[in-house]
Amino acid sequence: MRGPAAILLAGGVGSRLNILVRHRAKPAVPFGGIYRIIDFTLSNIGNSGVTNVAVLTQYKPLSLMDHIGDGSSWDLSGRSRRVKIFPPKTGEEDWDWYRGTADAVRQNISFVMSAQSDEIMILSGDHVYHMDYRLMVSFHRAKKARVTIATIPVPWEETHQFGTAIIDGDSRITQWEEKSPRAKSNLASMGIYVFDREYLISLLTESKEDDFGHHIIPRALKEKVVYAYPFDGYWRDVGTVQAYWDANMDLLESSSGIDPGSWKTMTNIYSAGPAFDRPPVLVSSVARVRRSIISPGCTIEGQVENCVLSPGVIVERGASVRDSIIMHDCRICEGVEIERSIIDKEVVVGAHTTVGRGDPKTVNVTHPEHLYSGLTVIGKRTIIPGGITIGTNCIIDPLLEPGTVFPKEVKSGMTVSGS
């Protein structure tokens, strides 16, 4: 029996990541130093022997398409292997966008109909996890299911963010709630589905409903053919600033369960210039590095503690960086102090500036739902002047040039924009 074909949904806006997705799709956001978020799902696909993959892009697709390339970085290129990128189908009006996950697959149903597979997997490109999909497909076949949903227990206070399932003794889903404020179960959908191909075609062609969780799954549930596949490994939806920071920090904790190395997580090291062709890490005799990931090409002369540094980061003498994520080719100048911050690519933080100190309870004024826990985010290619103070829960927009007027003190909760 043939293995499944896979559809990877990678077109979401990801607005809860705020300025980190101002100029890129959420799955293309850098993660863990050398990776991007989508690398985890692509690696699961490659490591599970899935050979026919469609990637549906839409929002800000160019960096993502460049990163995926021909799929060879994940062993998805060759005579019997392929990854096909389906470009955005947007027009001039908002209604030309995909209206939901099911609508996205329906608009590309030609891939489903032409697939020489008995099953179609529907996957998300914005989760961090490791899974052998072959085990899930075997479970699907053993249960004679028409739809199987990967599930994982989540804290009860988070159930409102997920579709949740109530199951019987045979793992068949008997009740389904989609993002209920008062969920009856904490068994949450991971956004990973296995469908019988013919059944998926009938569901999508017989209705015009837009979303799998809200519409398609409840419809299938009436026929008693939906099962829950239990998963107990590391999995995190990194769709918020807080969750993204937490997942990066998990990399520094050996007991967290996340381990891209042992997971055989692959990436395209050439999509933004070859990460591993950079010089070796240089740590000077006066530097101090503790409990951190330091990528190739970094130069450390100051102090780095509990941080994830992407390739090419420079931390100058007397600078201190703690509990932070610093992306590619940033320069942290002399005497800078940074705490609990996420700094996007190619940012320069001027000498003797302080970032991330202040009252963590003062939420961001413009986006209180995004920045509320004491994190500060600085956008891509912004130049921060020297000698200023930036508080907590602050947003500093991307692409701010040296002529931008900064206050001497960016108080906690403030946003600095170029407009």
Q: What confidence tens digit (pLDDT) does each residue in 128-172 have?
A: 999 999 999 999 999 999 999 999 999 999 999 899 999 999 999
Phi, psi (deg, nearest 5) at residue 388:
-110, 170
Asked if 329 and 312 touch (Cβ cutoff 8 Å), the reply is yes
pLDDT band at 71 (very low <50, low <70, confident <90, very high): very high
Q: Measuring CA to CA, which residue among 80, 81, 100, 98 is closest to residue 89?
A: 98
Provide mean pLDDT across the span 362-371. 96
Q: Where are the domains of the chain?
A: 5-250, 279-419
Indicate the Cα dihedral angle 341, 345, 350, 353, nearest 10°. Answer: 0
pLDDT band at 92 (very low <50, low <70, confident <90, very high): very low
Quote the pLDDT of residue 16: 87
Q: Are 22 and 255 in contact (CB under 8 A)?
A: no
Q: What is the pLDDT of residues 316-328, one digit of tens each?
A: 999 999 999 999 9
pTM equals: 0.94
CATH 2.160.10.10 fits 279-419, yes or no: yes
Q: How high is the pLDDT of residue 271?
A: 66
Class of domain 5-250: alpha beta
CA Rg value for the chain: 22
The rounded distance, in Å, linking the Cα atoms of 309 and 317 is 16
Q: Residue 91 pLDDT more than 60?
A: no
